[in-house]
Structure 1
Amino acid sequence: MQPDKKLFTFEETKQKLVNYCVYQDRCHAEVEQKMREFVLIPEAKEEILLYLMKENYLNEERFTRSYIRGKFYIKSWGKTKIKMHLKQKGINDRLISTCFDEIDEEDYQKTLHRIYDNYSSKLSGLQNYQKKSKTIKYLLSRGFEYESILQIIEN
């Protein structure tokens, strides 16, 4: 047995995981990762997961929607970056696609435009093509689509 794992009763473990899910929306992968901290038999893990889902503490769609809103409206990430991070968390493509309606298309364009203006205004002393390529690279790293970036640059 590993010394860093804590020993709790089944009920204590269940309550700790409920608190973990209540504090912030979680996906299955995060909850399963958290469960590894506890010494549990597979049946107990399964029972706790079922309980969390049945009581709606663990809801993949709610997690996905809140993740998309947070990463876009707070961190100003583009759809590509958000989708990539959700896939790393084990969320399927269909759910990701249906939840992208959380981002208003007008807000998306405004945010892309704002980030473009802020970044390109900081670039001085460069040739036009250098400025354009650095800006495109930056916006791609923020997760915006190439086609959307080109539309902004051309206008």
Structure 2
Amino acid sequence: MRGYQQQLSLEQALQKARHYCAYQERAHSEVKEKLYGFGLRRQEVEEALSRLIEENYLNEERFAIQFAGGRFRMKHWGRIRIRYELKQKQVGDYCIKKALVSIDEDEYHRTLFRLAEDKWSDLQEEEPYIRRQKLQAYLVQKGYETDRIQDVLAQLKEKE
């Protein structure tokens, strides 16, 4: 945070926080950090957070579902990576579970298979064993479960 920034009153900070939350869904931890950046004390931050929740600007479950859906659709992350990132944002376990369940199972499998196919074709020059290892490492990094990765690798092998 910037040291020269003047301290805002609770009402001024709340108004800025409302705009911050209205722009896109936010995690409680992100908003809390922003409020501290406005120069509020702990008690004022707690007051502001509770008011934002009451006014429905802040909703952890809604944030988690939106975050999971967005990261899955746009960045093609798997459930492991999404869970990790939500934990980093201090989202509760209940909300994380709701978010992960909101991802369509068929779409999840299709996305994993398409990612695997695309990467498999990118690795044409590699030896089969190295090619398989690189593909597996790529899919693990994307956050997909190893049992699902093994299934997709078996499907790719059958296709060849």
Corresponding residue for residue 24 of structure 1: 24
Q: Is the 8 A contact 2:65 2:98 kept in 1?
A: no
CA distance in structure 2 between the partners assigned to 1:82 and 1:12 by the alignment: 34
Corresponding residue for residue 50 of structure 2: 50
Cα displacement (A) at 1:25: 0.5
Cα displacement (A) at 1:11: 1.5
- TM-score, with length taken from structure 1: 0.94
CA distance in structure 2 between the partners assigned to 1:28 and 1:151 by the alignment: 37
Matches within 5 A, 1:118-133: 118-133=118-133
Question: Which deviations, in whole Å up to 9, do the C-alpha atoms of 1:87-141 show, x marking residues without a partner?
Answer: 0000122321122122100000000011000001011222111111110001101
Cα displacement (A) at 1:10: 2.2
Letter in 2 for 1:91: V
Letter in 2 for 1:141: Q
- TM-score, with length taken from structure 2: 0.91
Cα displacement (A) at 1:143: 0.6
Cα displacement (A) at 1:38: 1.2
Corresponding residue for residue 144 of structure 2: 144
CA, structure 1 residues 38+117, in 2 after alignment: closer, same or farther (shift >3 Å)? same
CA distance in structure 1 between the partners assigned to 2:3 and 2:112 by the alignment: 49
- Long gaps (5+) in structure 2: 156-160
Q: How many residues align?
A: 154
Question: Which deviations, in whole Å up to 9, do the C-alpha atoms of 1:58-108 show, x marking residues without a partner?
Answer: 100000000000000111111110000000000122321122122100000
Letter in 2 for 1:154: A
Q: Is the 8 A contact 2:52 2:58 kept in 1?
A: yes
- Long gaps (5+) in structure 1: none
